[in-house]
Amino acid sequence: MNDFAPQAANTTALGRHAIAEFYDASALEECAPAAAVLRAAAEAANATVLDVKLHDFGERAGFTGVALLAESHISIHTWPEFGYAAIDIFMCGDADLESCLKVLRDYFQPSDESLRVLDRGVGGQPSEMRQARIA
């Protein structure tokens, strides 16, 4: 199954949201090189980088970071002690999620991964259920 398959013709999504989990990954400790990788991943997707911020949790403790995009964001949080990275990619417009994810895979080299892709804002109009307010 191709998680990046085009949507059905009768639906319109405002954006696509990928939730990726990388297992037995590498390069999970140093955030400085990861900043360049987040930029490269956004550029590969034809997205516009507005800013990149990362925080290093210290020696062998991993990092967290986000690339703020005109088309939304790419975020990552790493646990090097578990070889694990949690990645979130949300893009709208013509940005290419698959190209973004390929750059991240090539850098972090996971031996296994889990991927879920959601269409966000399908139809572009709120339904009655979404319009309901909780009192």
Evaluate if residue 19 carries a pLDDT over 90: yes
Query: What is residue 82's predicted lDDT score, i.e. its pLDDT?
Result: 97
Q: What is the pLDDT of residues 110-131, one digit of tens each?
A: 999 999 999 998 865 555 544 4
List the catalytic residue out of 26, 73, 75, 92: 92
Reported as a single tens digit per residue, the pLDDT across 28-84 is 999 999 999 999 999 999 999 999 999 999 888 999 999 999 999 999 999 999 999
Strand partners, 72: 69, 91
Buried b (16+ CB within 10 A) or exposed e, 5-29: eeeeeeeeeebbbbebebeebeebb
Position 107 scores a pLDDT of 98
Is residue 100 annotated as part of the catalytic site, yes or no? Answer: no
For this structure, is 77 an active site residue? yes
Per the residue annotation, which of 17, 31, 72, 100 is the catalytic one? 72
Q: Does domain 15-120 have CATH number 3.60.90.10?
A: yes
> What distance in Å separates the CA atoms of residue 27 and residue 16, rounded to the nearest whole number?
26
Whole-model pTM above 0.85?
no
Q: Give pLDDT, residue 12.
A: 78
pLDDT score of 102: 98
Domain ranges of the chain: 15-120
Q: What are phi and psi of 133, to 5 degrees?
A: -110, 140
Tell me whether residue 92 is one of the annotated catalytic residues: yes
- Residue 7 scores a pLDDT above 50: no
Residue of 26, 73, 75, 77 with catalytic role: 77
